Amino acid sequence: QQKVQQSPESLIVPEGGMASLNCTSSDRNVDYFWWYRQHSGKSPKMLMSIFSNGEKEEGRFTVHLNKASLHTSLHIRDSQPSDSALYLCAASIWTNYNVLYFGSGTKLTVEP
Amino acid sequence: GGIITQTPKFLIGQEGQKLTLKCQQNFNHDTMYWYRQDSGKGLRLIYYSITENDLQKGDLSEGYDASREKKSSFSLTVTSAQKNEMAVFLCASSMGTGGANSDYTFGSGTRLLVI
């Protein structure tokens, strides 16, 4: 069973709109979450990380974390066509801190 | 800044062939990884290594071998390529010390096609 689940599988938003992506883990040993962005034909790049309950904002990107429910969400406001990419959520588990477990991704398309 | 280099960028093989992919990093990271990514999908862990000469199997290790003879390099071998197989193999490295230092840096990938 996959340790990290992402939803939706794909998402289309208009340019200037808000994109909301979700990620949950079923493993109570999860301690940290990361969000990676992967443009088509490129390798994933770390976008944001969150380790504590609450919210973290960097420019147009906001990440929320609820550690009790092991749920994190990524929100992109004023979405741009250049934000179109595959967004991967990853989690680390304190019992094996060497490995990040990745979800299957949300494919975001921002339409001009 | 460091860099992680994968070779070759493209690899075309024949069914049943043994194929080797290479990865080098100069971050001095302890931990290195090989992931497979099928078109538009997430990443599946094949092998990882926490130090020179160490190998740990991931969920997808069957059909693959790996080697970490030096701290800076990690190679992956497809032991018998499957016909019509098409995937991207991503190498990554990290400090591997847990917590905030667990994030990865990825190479640009090797794109495999088996004919």
**Tokens at B33, concatenated:** 């990884």
pLDDT of residue B102: 72
Residue (of A82, A78, A72) closest to A109 by Cα position: A82
User: In the predicted model, is pLDDT for residue B98 greater than 70?
Assistant: no
pLDDT of residue B80: 93
pLDDT of residue B99: 67
Q: Please identify every stretch of chain A with a pLDDT value under 70, giving residue numbers as ranges.
A: 1
Chain A residues touching chain B at CB-CB below 8 Å? 6, 31-32, 34, 42-46, 49, 51, 86, 88, 92, 94, 97-100, 102-105, 107
pLDDT digits (tens, 9 = 90+) for B7-59: 999 999 999 999 999 999 999 999 999 999 998 788 999 999 999 999 999 98
pLDDT of residue B84: 83
**Tokens at B66, concatenated:** 């790996």
